[in-house]
Every structure is written in structure tokens, then in C-alpha cells.
Amino acid sequence: MSRLRSSERRPLGLYIAAGAFLVVICGILVSSTIRAEPPSFAPSTLEPREVGAHFVVDTVTIDARSGDEWILFDFDVGAPVDPSRIDEWDLAINRFHVVTNGGSGYFGHGGALAIDRPWSEVTEAPAEGYTITEGRLDDGAVTPALERWYEYSFFAHTLLPKDETYVVRTAEGRFGKIKILSYYCPQATPGCLTMVYGYQGDGTNQLTATDP
């Protein structure tokens, strides 16, 4: 009789363990599907201004929500420029796509390099290792170093910037660095790319302020 009770207790214990396991799994799934509100910023109002021959730092939010056009950003003036100025822009932004002005068919000498270090620690632009843009703006342009600046959250369906710094060689062959902070406009609307950038206008590879 005691053997029968012992054998009956074993399946019950398995059921309890299985139930506890399912509760844990369900908790993980539920927490994963709760969408955390990503950081969001309103588009910046930017007027072109000559930066000059010194190191500048700024944070801008580019409104790239329209998938029909590329926003052309020029570090020399700290603002988007007219699309007709095909030889003067440094970064082209369309939704989550970011490319440089350099490569076959482009007028600039641009390129980009991803560095797995904090933005403040990247104080000098490397001499080599830059990737250039492949393809045309109207036909799936890609700059490999900038192609996957984000991690995609499958459950939340959001793009979260990687903790990387991107050194940019500009169309004129000068240097800057960027860190992407967000991809969202207010109300978590995608398409507003916010970045902090540092640009060295004197032509050197120093990505930090120097004594005057």
C-alpha cells in the first residue's frame, strides 16, 4: 500500500515542477512582449552655418520619415543641404539607412568605420579601414560600416542603437565621428534619427578639441 502511494506521488511532483516551469516561461514571454517606450526627439530646426576650421560638437535630429527622399547632411554647415548639391553632402539618411558620399558614382571621398568604443574615447580618426558606399541612392545604397547601427527587438519591434562610435570620412576627406542616440520622433514614430557628432574642420584627424 505504501508503494502505491509513493508511485502516485511521483507524477504529482512532476506536474508541479512542469507547472512552475511554464509559469517562468510565460513570465519571460510576457516581459519580452511589453514594449518599452524608446527615447524620442523632435526634429531639429537647422540653418546652414559655416563651421570653420575647428572642432565642433552638436546633437541633431534628422527628420527622415519620408521613404521617398534622402536627407543630405553636410558637416561643414551643420545642416541638411539641397539635393542638387551632390558633391557637398557627407551623410545621406533615409529612414534607418545611413550612407556616406563616397564610392563608385559618388562625387565625394567619404567612408565610414565602426569602432566598438565609447564616443568620448575616440579621439583620433584611423588612417585606414573605411568602407565606402555600394549602390546608388535610388537603388539600395549601403555603406557597410553603417548598415547595422542598430539592434532589432523582435518582441517590441523597435530599433535600438548599438553602443558603437562611427568615424566618418567626409566628402572633402576631413573627419568626424557620430553616435546614434535614437530612431524615433515623439509618440515613438519611427524615422527621426538623432545623433551626436563631432566634426574636425581643420582637416586633421584629431576628433577632440585642441588648444587654440
How distant, in Å, are the alpha carbons of 1, 45, 52, 109, 143 from that of 168?
Answer: 79, 23, 18, 10, 11
The answer on pLDDT for 107 being more than 70 is yes
Is residue 121 domain-resident?
yes
Judged by average pLDDT, the poorest of 4-13, 51-60, 75-84, 117-126 is 4-13
- How does DSSP classify residue 173? S
Instruction: Write out pLDDT tens, residues 123-169.
Output: 999 999 999 999 999 888 999 999 999 999 888 889 999 999 999 99
For residue 43, being part of any structural domain is answered with no
Number of separate domains in the chain = 2
**What is the structure's pLDDT at 22?**
60
Residue pair 141/99 in contact (Cβ under 8 Å)? The answer is: yes
Residue 27, domain extent: 1-34
Average pLDDT, integer, range 71-84 = 94
Same structural domain for residues 178 and 83? yes
Q: What percent of the chain has pLDDT over 90?
A: 72
Identify whether residues 91 and 183 lie together within a single domain. Answer: yes
Q: What is the pTM of this model?
A: 0.82
For residue 208, being part of any structural domain is answered with no
User: Does residue 41 lie within any of the structural domains?
Assistant: no
Residue 117 lies in a domain: yes
